[in-house]
A and B are shown apart, each in its own frame.
Chain A
Amino acid sequence: MLSLLGSPAWASETSGPGEEPVQQRLLFRVVAPPGVVLDQATAMVERPDGRRIPVRLSDDGTEPGDLSWDGVYVGYSTGLFARYLPVELSVTFPGEARMVVHSGIERIEDASSAALTWRLVDLDGAWYARRTSSTSVGFEEPVNELVGLAASLSWALFLAAYISWLLVRRRADP
């Protein structure tokens, strides 16, 4: 999956002296809307050593942790610790040309591993990818929010019942 496309001249001899480089594993995910199938999805990332690495994102269940054909395209990249990464996401719909749906600098919050997730959005025929929380994969966003809210309200209801019981007991106690 990883391939070295080449480094610019100024990017050679760039590792820090006498130090073991920190390896960082990054998970890239693109969530397609229900019913939308992609021929190809690729994240082109640039590591701090100047390497441009195309990460192929697949949905056939071959990548660790990927459920096949669930609309979540997954790929991994491992390399030098990056505090931020230039990322260009491109997708290809069946029978259509490749289109870039996102290009920008992504901040990374973990030196050893992190997940970056985008959701494909159709804006009147123009597709773009929007960064989203990594925890909301696999659900439509409103559903995901409802799951969180339901869990929170369940906890609240449980506590309310318990406190009410304490209250009733207190009143019943002579």
Chain B
Amino acid sequence: MNRPWAQNGVTLALYAVIACAWTWPLITDPTGLSVSPQFDAYSLIWLLDEAPRLGWDMVSHGSAWPIGHGLVRVDSFLALAAAISLRGLVDPVLMASSMALLGPILSAWAAERFAAHSLSVAWPWSLIAGLCYGFSGLMATALLEGHYYAMVTPWLPLLAMATLLATGPRARPIHGVAMAVLWTLCLLTTAYCGLAASLLVLGLSVRAPRRLLRQPVLLAGGLMLVAGVGFTWLYLQGDGASGDTLSSAVTTSRILEAGSASVADLALVSPDAELIGHSISPVLGWTCLLLFLTAPLVLKNRPHTRTLVILAVVVLVISMGPVVEIAGHRLPWILAPLTRMDWASAFRFPVRLMPVAYLCMGSVAAAAASALAARAPLLAAPLLLATVVDCFLGVGLPARTARLPLDVPSAYRELPPQGGMLELLPYFTANDVDDALFMRNLACSYQRSHHKPLTHACLGTSVSDSPGRALNDYVIEVCLDDSDQQRVQLRKWLVAMGISHVSLRPLLFPSNDRDPLHGCLEELAGEPHATSSDGGEMVVIYELIEPMDWDASGDHALYHAVFMEFL
């Protein structure tokens, strides 16, 4: 099979089959199923649904009602741009599922092309590069956590290709432009992908220091500077709160450790990966790793190999964070100095730099396999099979995927879009932040059915200090306090803020609090307006005021003023 189109066709078909099996059973119901056991898929669905309604100010009026929620610190501008440009034509669940299904295929294909083009790896051995990169442990983490946009990263291998061309002997300005565009796409995919891309560019550029002052590289550098400054400016316009975290050396260390790759994580998936943390499982894959280790023996004098090996090792070391634990001994590691700096807690997940390591290791492994197979291709063919086996058994997919229908509880379906919605959520301690985010994100994802603005802010990892949370906690406090006078005042507050409905998910609350909460809400709003137990949870909705047609712009200012007075 020597024709390029046939090789590309087989490559894409193979990756597509693996992607379907890997994300199983997503392909069976891409418009109604979530395979992510964690909670960020719900906020992604909310974002994709909300995006077409955003104005130029990037403020969502469907969230953090009635103040509004600035989305300039959104995780993925690319996902946001895709949703805005599709203008609601594609169902948000389908759009999210498409990212999860197509992301690994495109990413793997790009890595395969990088190995074939830049390292001259012969097909089918170049497939190994795609398998190691597109179906890596970190890609599995993105799937299981629900960061589907982070799976669409063909930009990184293409950036590596463009960087090698722009810093090569036959560099042209177009290579510099391509480099800048691809780096920007990485940055817009996620900030971590942008950081990883910066490391990649740095690592690949320093191999040829004399060429850095030539036109293509200078052009790339200038364009990247403009994009980077623009991105940073936009980021700084956002709200400061980025998590329920305290700034102290201990906390910074704890945050960085939790978001780093441990030695054990690199070898195999912890059986408790889904119970603790965020399904982090940056498994390297033994075939990829062992082939990578043979590279010095079989790839002598092969261009770029040494640079890629060094880059892979450096990024791997960085992604292991501030502490490495070996046989029960904790050793300070390369990021240990960061734990003494409060601001470093913002760099929560060093492990998310690992795509660079996967790309470099995968392409070097593919080159090593190609060299091993040069004389006896059939004898080396099992290497391909072993890499596929690693993609499944190594990262534990699809056994780790969830099977959760995304049906919206029927109580939400008949609500009028006018008026705000207060989703009552229980108190959560600092140890239950993940549960708090799960409950909030799930409630936000239901908005695609009722389209009522929510008092909770639907993005961000801060759940304890938002204005919506303050209102939520005040309502619970008054309801459990049993003071009639306060309840009359509470109803006035809520109505004056334009909140027409209050939703209660009783099973989230301690059993002792449920009856008082129901009694209080009945006192405020009468009998429940709608109740359901389908969609996986019990939902009881109370209607505070009859929905009315109002001039949204005029009244909104009043609601905003009342809310600020309340705060």
Contact = CB atoms under 8 A, between A and B. Distances in A.
B404 A109 contact: yes
Interface in A96-117: 105, 107-112
A83 B275 contact: no
A166 B271 CA distance: 33
A135 B271 contact: yes
B92 interface: no
A84 B537 contact: yes
B350 to A, nearest CB: 23
Interface string A40-81: 000000111110000000000000000000000000000011
Nearest to A50: B538
A144 B271 contact: yes
A83 B536 contact: yes
18 contacts: A8-B515, A8-B518, A15-B532, A16-B409, A48-B538, A83-B535, A83-B537, A84-B507, A84-B508, A85-B507, A105-B507, A105-B508, A107-B438, A131-B275, A159-B290, A159-B386, A170-B371, A173-B376
B254 interface: no
A162 B382 contact: yes
Contacts of A8: 514-515, 518
A155 B286 CA distance: 8
Interface of A: 8, 10-11, 13-17, 19, 21-22, 46-50, 80-86, 105, 107-112, 131-133, 135-136, 144-145, 148-149, 152-153, 155-156, 159-160, 162-163, 166-167, 169-170, 173
Interface in B282-319: 286-287, 290-291, 294, 297-298
Shortest 3 CB-CB distances between A and B: which pairs?
A16-B534, A83-B536, A133-B271
A156 B438 contact: no
B507 A86 contact: yes
Contact of A83 (B376, B404, B515): B404
A48 B528 contact: no
Contact of B405 (A81, A149, A155): A81
Contact of B379 (A16, A86, A155, A169): A169
Given A83-B404, A105-B435, A156 B538 contact: no
A145 to B, nearest CB: 8
Contacts of A14: 531-533, 538
A166 B405 contact: no
Q: Which of B264, B268, B533 has the most CB of A within 10 A?
A: B533
B66 interface: no
Interface in B475-527: 506-508, 511, 514-515, 518
A75 to B, nearest CB: 20
Given A10-B518, A84-B507, A136-B271, A17 B410 contact: yes
For chain A, what secondary structure do more than half of its interface residues adopt (helix, strand, loop), or is it mixed?
mixed
B210 interface: no
Nearest to B538: A48
B329 interface: no
Contacts of A148: 268, 271
Contacts of A47: 533
Contact of B275 (A132, A152, A166, A169): A132
B315 to A, nearest CB: 22
Given A111-B403, A163-B372, A152 B268 contact: yes
Q: Which of A47, A48, A131, A144 has the most CB of B within 10 A?
A: A48
B272 A170 contact: no
Contacts of B268: 148-149, 152
B537 A48 contact: yes
Interface in B390-420: 393, 402-405, 409-410
A169 B376 contact: yes
Interface of B: 37, 264, 267-268, 270-272, 274-275, 286-287, 290-291, 294, 297-298, 371-376, 379-380, 382-383, 386, 393, 402-405, 409-410, 435, 438, 442, 506-508, 511, 514-515, 518, 528, 531-538, 540
B403 A16 contact: no
Given A152-B268, A162-B382, A170-B375, A80 B286 contact: no
Given A49-B533, A166-B372, 5 more contacts: A19-B410, A48-B538, A84-B536, A108-B536, A170-B374
B538 A111 contact: no
Given A48-B507, A109-B37, A167 B372 contact: yes
Contacts of A107: 37, 435, 438
A71 B439 CA distance: 34
Q: Which of A86, A112, A136 has the most CB of B within 10 A?
A: A86
A26 B383 CA distance: 40
A145 B262 CA distance: 15
Contacts of B535: 16, 81, 83
A13 B538 CA distance: 11
Nearest to A46: B507
A160 B372 CA distance: 13
A42 to B, nearest CB: 16
Contact of B267 (A135, A149, A160): A149
A83 B442 contact: yes
B432 to A, nearest CB: 9
B4 to A, nearest CB: 27
Nearest to A14: B533
Contacts of A166: 372-373, 376, 379-380, 383
A65 B151 CA distance: 38
A156 B386 CA distance: 10
A80 B533 contact: yes
A50 B531 CA distance: 11
Given A15-B534, A49-B538, A173 B375 contact: yes
B533 A133 contact: no
B538 A11 contact: yes
A13 B536 contact: no
